[in-house]
A = this chain, B = another copy of it.
């Protein structure tokens, strides 16, 4: 793009058109396909008797709803506020994340429903579907992190449509065809989401992005807003990794492993953040992001018998890898590979996601009946039916295959979607207007003039 060339970023007809068109499509498709699952349907009163359930507590709602709400907070407040670190893109960070996630969960209910909850021509939904829809959208929020500040809301909606679709296909291949375990989504959510986003941002490479470099940083208060996102992601990650695990010990174990991994990750992140800086000062970018790598890196294995000390080891390593990534890899990716990664998702999701996939494969491959108990072993890996002859080492191999499939889907899908988003019809801003809320948002005047004044001391402030 030529510097200074005006672009038409007026969303007045395009954004409403896309939003309304897709919402109408959702209504029609929900009308045709989506119904309440048995545990949310008023017929459950009768169902309970047929199933000999003596307590309303046996409804899946009570096993999963608290975790669902925690995941919900991670998607909307966690990801949304984590991205408010930019000084002039807080509205876009929170607002566009809100928009894409609200659309994405509807489409994900359908896509995942067709693959996993389809019965007699209907998709039957319950609380587990809501969690899975949030999970799926999580991968879009991750990809959004790579292109934050450089795309129009329409591009984000288009990306969401395609990414949710591809996510669901990839998830189906992993969970159903390869029979892989990935309850916390190291592969399906993080590896796929991050490499998808990195491929998209590579295709959308903007050579003149240094024109908006002054807006790519944070200010003091925006860093504190971002810490709200960080902490909610960090605190609720045990719920994320345990939300769709089997009832009972598996959910319990997932939460403990994740708690341990995340705690360790904070210490190694702080250590390396200080160590890699000449004056030994801590960098908020690392604290905001790398402290979360521990959650990503046990996403596959948390429900397995990873053990608390295993979790500490994985968390420690992922904190180091992620912090080193922010210091050395991100600049390298931008300068050499032309991958402009606004939030550094390569460090927070891509590499820790790969670690998570690998740790999951190893943990599965080394599982024994001794460690899990005879029944626990079968239940943990669902070695029933056609899979009853699978051995741990074979399972480990399939887990590893899951990583490869996720990567391939991400690269191929990202390339295609990136090419679509490159079309000059979506209303993205010129390079000098990136990372600037004023392009798509009504911004309060006073503050704007204040910030303007701050950067232009010779210009008088408006009254």
> In this assembly, does A333 line the interface, its C-beta being within 8 Å of a C-beta of chain B?
no
Contact among B94, B287, B440 with A227 in the assembled complex (CB-CB below 8 Å): B94
- Residues in B with CB closer than 8 Å to A234 are 76, 98
- Residues in B with CB closer than 8 Å to A462 are 457
Segment among A142-150, A368-376, A384-392 that sits at the interface with chain B: A368-376
Cβ-defined contact, B454 with A11, below 8 A:
no
> In this assembly, does A31 line the interface, its C-beta being within 8 Å of a C-beta of chain B?
yes
Protomer copies: 3
Q: How far is the CB of A28 from chain B (nearest CB, A)?
A: 8
Of chain B, the residue at the smallest CB distance from A35 is B307
A11-B280, A99-B267, A106-B260 known; A42 vs B457 contact (CB < 8 Å): no
Q: How far is the CB of A66 from chain B (nearest CB, A)?
A: 4
Cβ-defined contact, A219 with B447, below 8 A:
yes
A23-B316, A62-B57, A249-B39 known; A15 vs B270 contact (CB < 8 Å): yes
Segment among A43-51, A173-181, A335-343, A351-359 that sits at the interface with chain B: A43-51
Of chain B, the residue at the smallest CB distance from A250 is B42
Contact among B60, B91, B282, B376 with A284 in the assembled complex (CB-CB below 8 Å): B91
> In this assembly, does A330 line the interface, its C-beta being within 8 Å of a C-beta of chain B?
no
Cβ-defined contact, B125 with A274, below 8 A:
no
Contact among B31, B42, B251 with A249 in the assembled complex (CB-CB below 8 Å): B42
Cβ-defined contact, A252 with B220, below 8 A:
no
> In this assembly, does A239 line the interface, its C-beta being within 8 Å of a C-beta of chain B?
yes
- Residues in B with CB closer than 8 Å to A80 are 227, 231
- Residues in B with CB closer than 8 Å to A81 are 228
Q: Mark A66-79, 1 if CB is under 8 A from B, else 0.
A: 11011011001100
Cβ-defined contact, B247 with A56, below 8 A:
yes
Cβ-defined contact, A253 with B36, below 8 A:
yes
- Residues in B with CB closer than 8 Å to A43 are 372-373, 376
The CA-CA distance from A99 to B30 in the complex, in Å, is 43
Q: How far is the CB of A154 from chain B (nearest CB, A)?
A: 10
Cβ-defined contact, A308 with B36, below 8 A:
yes
> In this assembly, does A61 line the interface, its C-beta being within 8 Å of a C-beta of chain B?
yes
Contact among B11, B274, B372, B448 with A16 in the assembled complex (CB-CB below 8 Å): B274
Cβ-defined contact, A268 with B23, below 8 A:
yes
A36-B308, A65-B255 known; A282 vs B95 contact (CB < 8 Å): yes
- Residues in B with CB closer than 8 Å to A126 are 252, 256
The CA-CA distance from A232 to B376 in the complex, in Å, is 38
> In this assembly, does A366 line the interface, its C-beta being within 8 Å of a C-beta of chain B?
no
Of chain B, the residue at the smallest CB distance from A280 is B12
Contact among B20, B217, B450 with A267 in the assembled complex (CB-CB below 8 Å): B20
- Residues in B with CB closer than 8 Å to A119 are none
> In this assembly, does A210 line the interface, its C-beta being within 8 Å of a C-beta of chain B?
no
Of chain B, the residue at the smallest CB distance from A248 is B56
> In this assembly, does A213 line the interface, its C-beta being within 8 Å of a C-beta of chain B?
no
Cβ-defined contact, A62 with B63, below 8 A:
yes
- Residues in B with CB closer than 8 Å to A376 are 41-46
Q: How far is the CB of A76 from chain B (nearest CB, A)?
A: 5
> In this assembly, does A264 line the interface, its C-beta being within 8 Å of a C-beta of chain B?
yes
- Residues in B with CB closer than 8 Å to A99 are 266-267, 270
- Residues in B with CB closer than 8 Å to A56 are 63, 247-248
- Residues in B with CB closer than 8 Å to A309 are 27, 30-31, 34
Q: Which 5 A-B pairs have the closest CB atoms?
A: A12-B280, A42-B376, A102-B266, A30-B309, A19-B271
